[in-house]
Amino acid sequence: MKTAPRYGRSNFALPGRGRWLSLFFAMTLMTVAARGDEPYARSKDYDLQHSKIALKFDVEQKKIIGDVTHTLTTLRDNTNKLAFDSVGLAIQSVTVNKTAAKFETTATQLIVPLASVAKKGDKFEVEIKYEGKPSKGTYFILPDQDYPQQPKEIWTQGESEDTRYYLPTYDYPNDRLTTETVLTVPAAWLTVANGKLIGVKDAGNGLKTWTWQESLPSSTYLITVVAGEFEEVRDSWRGKPVTYYAPKGRGDRLKINYSRTPQMLELFSKKLGVDYPWEKYAQSMVDDFVAGGMENSSATTNASSSLVNPLLAPEYATGQDPLISHELGHQWFGDLVTCKDWGNIWLNEGFATFMETLWSENYFPKEQSEYERWSSVREWFEQANLWAKPIVRHDFDDSSEFDGNAYGKGGLVLYMLRHQLGDDAFYRGLKHYLEVNRGKNVVTADLAKAIEEETHTNLDQFFSQWVYGAGAPKFDLSYSYDDTKHQVMLKVKQAQKIEGRVGLFHIPTDVEITTAAGAKEYPITVSKAEEAFSFPADSAPAMVLFDKGGHILKSAEFHKEKKEWLYQLKNASEIADRADAAQALAKLKEDTEVDAALGDTLRNDKAWGVRVTAADALGERKSPAGAKLLLEGLNSATEPWVRNRIVAALGNFKDSPEIAAKLDSVAKDDKSYRARAAALLALGKIKAPNALATLNAAVAGDSPDNFLRNAALRAMGPLGDDRAVSTLREWIAAGKPIDTRRAAISSLARLKKDDQEITQQIAGLLNDAHFQLRFGAIFALGERGDVSAVPALESLLKSNDLSIEMVPMIRAQIARLKRGPGKKPEAGETNEAGEAGGDEAVATRLDRLEKMIQEMNQRLKNIDERLPKH
């Protein structure tokens, strides 16, 4: 599934960015009372082969009426009972081979004693009739008095262990079954389920019955049901149906955001050498989804926030492709071949992340994927909580396994594996892996073995350090030139602390040395704590690059002189090396030559990722010359995803009337909505003297999907002007758009801090039906610093529908309130993004997160909790 964004920081800016899930978003849906996900696969008593799942709905009551028939075979002699996972369902009757059977239920299971002891290989047909109002697993999104226009939607979300909340079944990935799904719904509704549509029949009473059949086996967490007032667009790929669904009224947003799907199907089928295996591919976009996207077999569900307004969609460099390619990639990695246990979830998520890269590098200009990779590496290092954990781990009691190692690091590890093996061997290895494991459940050793079988390359060390080991190399690099020997001596230190699962890394890489005579590349392999390599060079080098192009997940402190960084910024052929130079130069303060070089890069580099990195650097340097260069850069920048970043960099310059005036004019009428939104935020951040008038005007005005209003509301908190309180309270009210309410919460929390009535208003949202608002309220209260909110947060901790991810977040906010303002978190305490950091870093990440939520409607970190109401 997809949780978060992986684009560089800047890219998070808005609706439409699809990174669903990144790490931040991992979602596990376990209840506190229950426990985290089961880390190891279960030993099985039976093999579930087929389920016929018939569901009816009492929509107003948010109730499901189910009748499921399981076909299964026992796997052991002396089997005297069959147990199914089942939570909160009222079981009405059970038959075994058409004979009424006794049964008992516990909090988590339906147990069916067998009339006589079964042998290994005995076949059973077990029919279960039941009803329930699921607290998770199935969600009813309905109109209410505050939101009368809401289209009616019912959708399910099984991963990780929530199918059992609406279907008594074997609910762990290590089993696979085919399904027939029979859905009886109001005649005007559409439905989507796994597999092929067999037919739609009139069912009387204004109802219709839809029958779907999936003939390829997959795991129960990949079962899906979507039903409701939807609009459909039909497309196809090699004769298979490719369909897209939007909630009623938003069908016109499908094509602009989703129409590249068939091209992706073609690319992935060709590159992998294994054709897309399912009989159709549907993508259903639903409201209030609990994730960014979920790869149910043949029928992905995505958050409706991916239906970006057609006026905003062109402002995103890659549109919704990261989300779409991620979920599509799962159809091979996750669905056709499935992790055996949650400890190996990276075999799903790391691959899906890698498939985003595959699409990006094949469809967009080369600079796009290169910049994404450079940003992903930095993003991973920013998440300090990931450092000590290996990718494959089974100790996730108190933190989700759907973390930045499974996603970001997993994707980078596969990228490195390809880089090391070469394209041909790598894809041959993957093809073999998919072919031998097709329709099976796998652990990491199966991947290593398949690639080795195909390529005859032993990957034990690679997997040992990158997948079973933790951390990454932190290089300390320096070189000297000996002009008598005509030699460059490069010193390489691995400076990471060797402890726990973090060791020394053994890595082949390339060093490039550029002299007046040209550039030359040398392959080396690093493996020691400290070592030195010498290379011939006719003269002192102008540039020495280690890991040219940035292919390794690493950090590097390369001790170079200013002139070398300047040369590298201008002349390095690869994006990563130029971006590295821009970052290194950002630290050489008060140097007009550096300012000028960064300004030149901002205007002239051919890669937009390097240009925005230069903009960030100029913003960080805060020099008067840099401010001017940013203003000039803004004049020439055309792409919205560059303009918004330059504008954001201008938000670092306080007390400059010229910049405040420019931001004001951009906020009022730039051709890019993203730039205007960034300008509104920057005006708040610099506390520009007349900012409130501009923000108020933006709140009052209209823009596509409230885009500018939301930005203006978000800017009011940083502005710190208490006169904004009444506006914020107005927009936080029930009936206003959810994302607008969300935007207003954190700003309101920062104003009139001694007004307990505001604290109470925000605390009132802790129990709101919309998870985004609950989530926003939790962090807003921590930010507000009013200890009177502690009891409300503590009582929220006691509610039993919280996800495992939610609990530490609430606890962290309580600790923050008790600690008082301005104190740093203790070691181990993390902020919203699961990362430790200072206020500024926290603010940046909150901002990023906030946007993600806004954009994706995803339930971050398992925020699946929904109140009974929704």
Q: Report the interface residues with Zn ion, using CB under 5 A.
A: 1-2, 349, 352
Beta carbon nearer to Zn ion, 243 or 348:
348
Beta carbon nearer to Zn ion, 276 or 567:
276
Beta carbon nearer to Zn ion, 349 or 379:
349
Beta carbon nearer to Zn ion, 22 or 672:
22
Round to whole Å and give the CA distance between 454 and 475.
33
Cβ 256 to Zn ion shortest distance, Å: 23
Round to whole Å and give the CA distance between 193 and 205.
23
Cβ 39 to Zn ion shortest distance, Å: 19
Beta carbon nearer to Zn ion, 211 or 444:
444
Beta carbon nearer to Zn ion, 1 or 223:
1
Cβ 514 to Zn ion shortest distance, Å: 41
Residue 532 identity:
A
Cβ 160 to Zn ion shortest distance, Å: 11
Residue 558 identity:
F
* Other CB atoms within 10 Å distance of the CB of residue 729: 15
Q: Give 493's DSSP letter.
A: E
CA-CA distances (angstroms) from residue 151 to 183, 207, 596, 864? Answer: 18, 17, 54, 20
Cβ 1 to Zn ion shortest distance, Å: 4
Beta carbon nearer to Zn ion, 66 or 834:
834
Beta carbon nearer to Zn ion, 335 or 670:
335
CA-CA distances (angstroms) from residue 343 to 41, 331, 332, 583? Answer: 9, 20, 19, 36
Round to whole Å and give the CA distance between 51 and 48.
8
Q: Angle at CA 537, nearest 5°, toward 533 and 538? A: 160
Cβ 391 to Zn ion shortest distance, Å: 15
Q: Do β-strands 225-228 and 190-193 pair in parallel, antiparallel, or remain unpaired? A: antiparallel
Round to whole Å and give the CA distance between 225 and 189.
13
* Other CB atoms within 10 Å distance of the CB of residue 138: 25
Q: Are 613 and 583 in contact (CB under 8 A)?
A: yes
Distance of CA 832 to the CA centre of its chain: 14
Cβ 355 to Zn ion shortest distance, Å: 10
Selection from 430, 427, 389, 422 nearest residue 408 by Cα: 389
Beta carbon nearer to Zn ion, 37 or 180:
37
Beta carbon nearer to Zn ion, 2 or 645:
2
Cβ 865 to Zn ion shortest distance, Å: 21
Q: Please report how many Cα atoms fall inside a 13 Å half-sphere around the Cα of residue 476, on the Cβ side.
A: 9
Beta carbon nearer to Zn ion, 2 or 493:
2
Question: Which residues, listed in sequence order, are joined to residue 177 by a DSSP beta bridge?
Answer: 218
Round to whole Å and give the CA distance between 678 and 667.
8
* Other CB atoms within 10 Å distance of the CB of residue 102: 12
Selection from 324, 323, 348 nearest residue 437 by Cα: 348
Beta carbon nearer to Zn ion, 191 or 858:
858
Q: Mark residue 705 as left, alpha or beta (left: phi above 0; alpha: psi -120 to 50; beta: remaining).
A: left
Q: Are 231 and 248 in contact (CB under 8 A)?
A: yes
Beta carbon nearer to Zn ion, 268 or 567:
268
Beta carbon nearer to Zn ion, 224 or 706:
224
Round to whole Å and give the CA distance between 752 and 759.
10
Round to whole Å and give the CA distance between 510 and 644.
35
User: Shortest Cβ contact with Zn ion: which residue?
Assistant: 352
Beta carbon nearer to Zn ion, 454 or 855:
855
Residue 722 identity:
D
Cβ 403 to Zn ion shortest distance, Å: 12
Q: Are 547 and 525 in contact (CB under 8 A)?
A: no
Selection from 26, 31, 861 nearest residue 401 by Cα: 26
Cβ 776 to Zn ion shortest distance, Å: 24
Q: Give 44's DSSP letter.
A: -
Q: Do β-strands 240-247 and 230-237 pair in parallel, antiparallel, or remain unpaired? A: antiparallel
Beta carbon nearer to Zn ion, 1 or 615:
1
Question: Which residues, listed in sequence order, are joined to residue 141 by a DSSP beta bridge?
Answer: 153
Round to whole Å and give the CA distance between 850 and 241.
36
Q: Give 823's DSSP letter.
A: P
CA-CA distances (angstroms) from residue 749 to 554, 708, 711, 718, 735? Answer: 38, 20, 16, 10, 20
Q: Which residue has the tokens 């926290």?
A: 842
Please count the residues of the chain. 870
Cβ 383 to Zn ion shortest distance, Å: 17
Beta carbon nearer to Zn ion, 352 or 743:
352
Round to whole Å and give the CA distance between 142 and 802.
22
Cβ 406 to Zn ion shortest distance, Å: 9
Round to whole Å and give the CA distance between 832 and 642.
27
Distance of CA 514 to the CA centre of its chain: 39
Selection from 78, 714, 159 nearest residue 727 by Cα: 714
Beta carbon nearer to Zn ion, 340 or 621:
340
Does the N-terminal peptide bond of residue 160 adopt cis geometry, omega within 30 degrees of 0? yes
Question: Which residues, listed in sequence order, are joined to residue 85 by a DSSP beta bridge?
Answer: 109, 169
